[in-house]
Amino acid sequence: MAKYINPYTDFGFKKLFGEEGNKNLLIDFLNQLLPFHHQIADLTFQNVEQLPDTNEERKAFFDIHCKSASGERFIVEMQKAKVDFFKDRALYYLSYPIREQAQRGEWNFELSAIYFIAVLDFWYEPKKTAKFHRHVVLKDQDDDPFYDKLGLIFLQMPAFEKEESELETHFDKWAYFLKNLEKMDNIPQILNESVFAQAFNTAEVANLSKQQREDYEKSRLSYIGVKQVSETAKKEGAEQEKMSIAKSMKSDGLATSMISRHTGLTEEEIEKL
């Protein structure tokens, strides 16, 4: 087993960022993503299960739901594999901390700032146009800010490609830590800071109790299973796409050898189409 936990697992992510004793790690991480006027001094963890208004409504489960001392609310999600309508899901999740601020009686509708932060262990957009860090805010048709108290922040981890020697900012270091933690055997010199020393100590498998190790192993196997299903679906989708292209080329009268060269299918497979 690796020396450090996989932070993309449910157990690993919550062990690092979802425990009261480690909330300074979450604060430090979030402050690298937030604008200056919404920096966090302290926070409290909220119930991660948001109850609906009626039994017919669907429940929302968050990885981490927290509130800063100054009132800002944060939903932090680790997503292991691509899901349909992820952007829609993000907006749906944001609706809960908006609605929970409603007050009985006279109320002027003033809201505290709300942020949805998603750490994604998959490509949710084409690689050619992919951005590692995307911060979405409300702007008007002239690109002028319209409302600065609602933000969606996406970290597309596969798109982070910096090596240790290329790390420049504290944010770079956090991204490098998350992406490479499970593969590390020692603490890199560039991460020799107190906040990362605490993070590495928290993430070391040898420091887990027997029950925590069992819980982590279940979480790790679940993560592996999800990733395998995702990869299988991707391969099957690519295979179906090749078949479809080959059929189209064959119907256009192109030579079997040419179809094989362009699709990677064997001539036998093409003849059966």
> Beta-strand (E) ranges in 96-246?
114-120, 133-139, 145-156
Helix (H) or strand (E) holding 247: helix 210-251
pLDDT digits (tens, 9 = 90+) for 136-195: 999 999 999 999 999 999 999 999 999 999 999 999 999 999 999 999 999 999 999 999
pTM of the predicted model as reported, rounded to 2 decimal places: 0.79
Whether the CA torsion 17, 158, 4, 186 is positive or negative: it is negative
Residue that has been written with the tokens 């094989």 in this structure: 260
- Residue pair 153/136 in contact (Cβ under 8 Å)? The answer is yes
Q: How far apart are CA 216 and CA 205, in angstroms?
A: 9
The predicted-structure confidence for 236-262, as pLDDT tens digits, reads as follows 665 676 777 777 777 767 778 767 766
Pair 76, 43: CB distance under 8 Å: no
